[in-house]
Each structure stands twice: as structure tokens, then as C-alpha cells.
Amino acid sequence: MDTEQLRKLLLPEITETIAKRGMKGLTPPQAGAISKGLLDGKSMLIASPTASGKTLVAEIACVNSILRHRKKSVYVAPMRALVMEKFNEFRELYPYLKTAVSIGDLDSSDAWLHDYDMLFVSTEKLDSLIRHGVSWLGSVGCIVFDEIHMLGDQSRGPTLEILITKLSSICNAQMIALSATVGNANEIAKWLGAELVESDYRPVPLKKGVVHEGMAYYINDAGEEQEMLEGSNRLQDIRVLEDTLSRGKQMLAFYSTKRNAEAGAVKLSEHTIKKLSKEDKDQLDRIADSILNVLDRPTEQCIKLSKLVRYGIAFHHAGLLNAQRGLVEDAFKRNLIKAICATTTLGYGVNLPAHTVLIRDISRYDNGGNEMLGINEVLQLFGRAGRPKYDKEGRALMIAAYKERVRELYENYLVAKPEAIDSGLGVAPILRTHILAFVAENFIHDKKQMQKFMAKTFYGYQYGNMRHINNVIDEALSDLMKFGFIEESARDEYIATKVGKRVSELYIDPLSAWWIINSMDSKNDTIENLYMIANTAEMRPYVRSTEEAEEMFAAYRHMKMPKQLFEEFDKMDYGYYDPVRGFSTALLLNDWMEEQKEQDIVKKYRSTPGELYSKLSNADWMIYSAIELAKITHKTQHDLINIRIRLRYGIKEELLDLVRLEQVGRVRARTMFVNGIRTVSDIRNNKEAVTRLFGKEIAAKILAQLD
């Protein structure tokens, strides 16, 4: 489909964007979508490799809905980083459209979104908005679901499945689903009521191979071929890097654990530094300094990452702070960092392609033993190989430890088809929160309607037999009645109680809310209140138990904690449960509030800075939820409010007054305190001291708040 044909079919705003991208025509998936009715409002499932043009299909549908039909469009993705990336890209390409992003506060209707044409949201945020009764859903003409294969993800899949089913009945919108790895695309398309556009087109051809003893064994359309890799190192990951660098290219290497990724980066660093120019080193030094100083006091991980970046390499995993992750990704995109050693989570995040992708570890430790990576996960990682505009081909490699393993990896991964995606919806704890939402948002009130709704889900479509799911509905309703979150009327309808409606709005597991409500007591000390929020599903995975946690937990349980509550929580919980680890997580939060250094905390609990701040973010949400539940159940909130402030800033109680001021965090507040400035009133009488401590600029901002 050439440029002239496009002008006749598409809006000029879209053809301008295509031209801006340097495209002369449409890719096969894009042309296929248009021929199957994309512009006529038909729903679509686009299943094609990474970089094949799926995003433009979504853009065409969204812009068409906004400009031609005067309706809103919504882009939904499972990861916040991906939502932000797509938001920034769209806003740059279509600056004349009113575009907004919302991925944060889950206890808000974000009424301001009503005035925007194009919305970018995470899966959970859109679900939360519906729970808060947003008024604009009826004006939505197009909804894009990126990474639709996440339907099969145990943690995110059920919410996505419920959300799609709910939206299908709430609004009459065109749905565009996108994925690179779907084994049962036809089945998912039929469930969605969508046209299937399936293609193996890649703008950059992909060579898939297995490396053994310096030799790469490839398989491609022409058959099999062999290639001796450049370099001399006998370690296979180093040999692949040597070969990649000899071509002037970059590499992404995937490892099974955070520790392996870090060790891999250290091992490879002596080779990347050889390829850096003087200008590269100067720029990397500045980036490394920024990485080092993200925290007031660098941790060992910060120091290690900063040092490696100076060598032109980095590690990338969930333990990094967001700012550090962004700096690493940007430096890699600018070809300053030559290689990244990552865990497999990078394969599901932002678009970060490289010429060569190496999967170093094909198995990982999980659920008490080693398990092999799934085909879909490997294909997702392979999809990172090959950069449009930069590479004539991409290369995806795996390592075989012995010769016989080469053929095994060939058959299991290189020529394997994507695995089918299965629904993970039929589990009581997962359904419990959604069934409460049905009732609380006045969507469904009786059991028969719930059963009919579940029959429309992907689970219902896949399995047909609803006996199990109906039993799960009964179990969830029984739990919610026991918790006091719903009541049954004389007409056999369920009505949300005031508390139940608030729990649904707070977007927390009803079991967590029940535990918090029953644990709240005006006699709780700080540790007990922290345990109250830490021992919830939202705070998982808990940190590892320490000896201190085991001893203190035994003392608290014997002397203070009501045993019945532990037994009830254990009985209602699902999966492996260790309350000591929840208690250990509470002690981590307490250490932070006692102004322990980040580096000491992560060392004590064998954690990482990224995991620490993730825990603090989740803890803030749970303590906020506890405060809201205290309000509605008429319990004292004072101590909880103080804990929330202390958690936010990482301070002892004596600094609460000082941190009320902007520009004053845990470090500046402590600095003032040790210099005799202990309250906001003291600042008025010590203006010169404040200036001496922080300089004129910062002091002026602090003092201006006192006028």
C-alpha cells in the first residue's frame, strides 16, 4: 500500500505522522488491519513480532476515533514504564491532541481526565477509575490493550480479563489488542469478537542460534548455518560480547537472577571499556556520577553500578531505583553503554532493542526448584534483537553447555511455536476483590448475573464448564459476607456496606482490609501498626526473616498479639504463608523510620535499593488505606497519620514538625535538629543558621514559607 493510496484512506494527520517516521508505506500487519476493517471500527487482534508496526495500527484506530468520530481513545498497558513510553511518543507525534496519562493514585476518579481526547493508563488504574464511577466511559470510541498475552500472567492476567469483559458491556468501543507472542491468537480473537491479523513480518530479519565452544549454530529460512564467533575467550557470554563489539554493535544479555546479572556485568566490563572513545568516557562519567548520587548516601549497589557504567556496561533489574534505571536505558539508547546484563523483566518493559540478544541462563530457581523458561518468555526476549534504522539483521542467541544441548535448544525454543495463553481467573482470592467491585460500583448485584458475567470472560470461553467458577463465586461471596463488606437483601441481591464500598475504592484485597480493620487498636505500638500493614497481600513478596524478627515476633505473639487473628488470617490466606517474614518486613519499615541508612537496611535484609523503595511505596498506600478504614470504622487515626509521615520521609517522630516545610526532607531536618533547630518556630529565630547550613538559595525557599 503506497503513499498515494494511504492519502485516500487515512486522515491527513495520520499520513503526516507516517511521513514523519520516514515510512513510504504500510507494513503487512498494518495493511492487513486496514483491509480487515480497522477504519470501519472493527475490533482487531494484531499478533506480529516486535517492531512490525503494531503501535501504528493502534494509533490509526485511536486518532480515527478522536478526529473522525469525536470520541475518546484509551491506551492500556500492564507496566507503568510502558504506559509512560507510549504516552511520550504519542504526545510528540500528535501535539495537537489533548493527551493525558494516569498511572498513580488508585483512590481517585481523576475527574480532569474528562477533558482529554487520548488517555494512557495502566490496567489497574483503569479498573480503579471504573470503581470510582468515572462519567466518560460512554464517550470512549477505541480502547487499545497492549501486551494482550499478559492474560496468562498469574498476577496481572485476571484483572486484565475482568477489565476487558467489563468494558465490553459498559461501552460500545472498538478494541485493539496487541501482542508479539500468542500461541492461540485465533481463540483470543474470537473471545474478543475481533478480526485476527497475524503476521511473521519483521522489518529487521532475525537470526536465531545456539552458541557452543565459540561456534554459533543458526537456523533461518534457508536452513542451518554455522559461524565462528570473533574473539578468543572460552567463556561463552564473553565470546558473544567480543563478537558483538567487533561488529560495532550492542548486546543485551539475560540472566536468571539479579546476582547473576550483576556478576555478568562485572565479568564483561573489561571488554566493553576497550571500545569506548574519550568522548564516550567523558559522557559516561557524568552519567555514572548521577547514578551514584541518586540517594543522599550511595549503597553498595549504587557504587557498583556507577563503576560499571564508567566501563560502558550496566546491570538492569528490579533492584535498581527508577532514576538509575532511566539513566541506564537512556545511555544504552545513545550507544554509550555497549552491553546490559539484565533479568528477564527487561523483556516486558520499555522498548530497548539491541543488535544481539543473549539468553545466558535458560533456567531459574522458582518454587523450590529449577524450572526452564517458557517458550513465550524466550520469544519475548528474542524480540529485543534487531534495531530498525540501525541493523540489517538482529541476532538472538542461547548458550549450550554441551554439544547435545544444541539440538535440544533448537527444538525446544528456536523452531517452537508460541504457547497458548490460558486464563488464570478461577481462583477465589483473585475473584474476591472483583466480585466486591461488581457490587460496590452497582454493576452486578445478584449471583446469577455474576455467573453470566463470568461465562463471558476468557475463562468461560476457554473452559465452558462453569461449575468450578460458580463454586469460587460462592466462596468469594461467603468471605465478603463474613468480612461485613456486603449484605444480602430480601430480594436475594447483594448490597455493598459503607465499609465494603470504601475497600473497593481503595483497591486493596478485601482480606487485607479485613485483617487491618480487625488489627487496629488504639493500644498498638508503632511495630504493631507496621506489622498490621506489612502482613498483607499487597506487601508481598516479604523480605527474608532475620534472627531479630524471629525473636521479636515470638515475644509479640506471646505477650500482645491476639492469636485468633493469626489463625484466621492463616486459614483465609492462599499459597505459602510465613507471618515472621511479614513481621520482618515491618521491622524493615521501622528501621527506615528510625533513620537507618539505606545501605545498612538493604544489607541487613539482603535486599536492594529498588526493592526498599518499592516496599516504602506500597507501605504508604497501605497505611493510607488503614487511615481511611479507621475513619469509616470510627477508630483512632492519629498514630497512623504520624506513621505515614514518618514512612514518607524516613524520620523519627521528633522531626515531624520540620518536614512540614517543602525543601526539608530527612537529611536537612536532621541537620537542623542536631544544630538546635527543632521546630518550625525555631527556624524563625535562627535564619542565619539555616542560611549557613544550606546556602542562600535553599534557605530562601525554606524561609519564604514562614511569611
Beta bridge partners of 396: 208, 357
Range of the domain at 596: 511-650
Give pLDDT, residue 223. 65
pLDDT tens-digit readout, 502-511: 999 999 999 9
State the Cα–Cα distance between residues 152 and 348, nearest whole angstrom: 14
Same domain flag for 91 and 124:
yes
Same domain flag for 385 and 236:
yes
| Helix (H), strand (E) counts: the chain | 32, 19
Give pLDDT, residue 389. 78
Residue that finishes a domain, picked among 455, 470, 504 = 504
Average pLDDT over residues 457-468: 90
Same domain flag for 336 and 227:
yes
Query: Taking 60 as the threshold, does the pLDDT of residue 299 lie above it?
Result: yes
Q: Answer whether residue 419 is part of any domain.
A: no
**Which H or E run contains 212?**
strand 206-212
Same domain flag for 641 and 675:
no
Q: Answer whether residue 454 is part of any domain.
A: yes
Percentage of the chain exceeding pLDDT 70: 95
Q: Answer whether residue 421 is part of any domain.
A: no
Cell digits of residue 306: 556507577
**Which H or E run contains 494?**
strand 494-496
> Confidence band (pLDDT; 50, 70, 90) for 12?
confident
Mean pLDDT taken over the chain: 91
State the Cα–Cα distance between residues 234 and 214, nearest whole angstrom: 7
* Length of the chain, in residues: 707
Query: Taking 80 as the threshold, does the pLDDT of residue 575 lie above it?
Result: no
3-state secondary structure of 269: helix
Place of cell 563503576: 307
pLDDT tens-digit readout, 598-622: 999 999 999 999 999 999 999 999 9
CB atoms inside a 10 Å sphere around CB 365: 10
State the Cα–Cα distance between residues 419 and 184, nearest whole angstrom: 7
Same domain flag for 214 and 294:
yes
State the Cα–Cα distance between residues 523 and 542, nearest whole angstrom: 25
Q: Which one has a higher pLDDT value, 561 or 380?
A: 380
pLDDT tens-digit readout, 40-91: 999 999 999 888 889 999 999 999 999 999 999 999 999 998 999 999 999 9
Same domain flag for 93 and 187:
yes
Query: Taking 50 as the threshold, does the pLDDT of residue 572 lie above it?
Result: no
Residue 257's CATH number: 3.40.50.300
Q: Answer whether residue 68 is part of any domain.
A: yes
Give pLDDT, residue 574. 45
* Residue 421: DSSP 8-state: P
CB atoms inside a 10 Å sphere around CB 586: 28
Decide if 76 contacts 103 (C-beta within 8 A). no
Q: Answer whether residue 423 is part of any domain.
A: no
Q: Answer whether residue 353 is part of any domain.
A: yes
Same domain flag for 492 and 577:
no
Same domain flag for 188 and 153:
yes
pLDDT tens-digit readout, 170-217: 999 999 999 988 999 999 999 999 999 999 999 899 999 999 999 999
> Confidence band (pLDDT; 50, 70, 90) for 8?
confident
Residue 641's CATH number: 1.10.3380.30
Q: Which one has a higher pLDDT value, 183 or 561?
A: 183
Q: Answer whether residue 583 is part of any domain.
A: yes
State the Cα–Cα distance between residues 339 and 243, nearest whole angstrom: 12
pLDDT tens-digit readout, 96-139: 999 999 998 888 999 999 999 999 999 999 999 999 999 999 99
Q: Which one has a higher pLDDT value, 64 or 347?
A: 64
pLDDT tens-digit readout, 384-415: 999 887 888 999 999 999 988 998 999 999 98
For the chain, how many structural domains are there in total?
Answer: 5
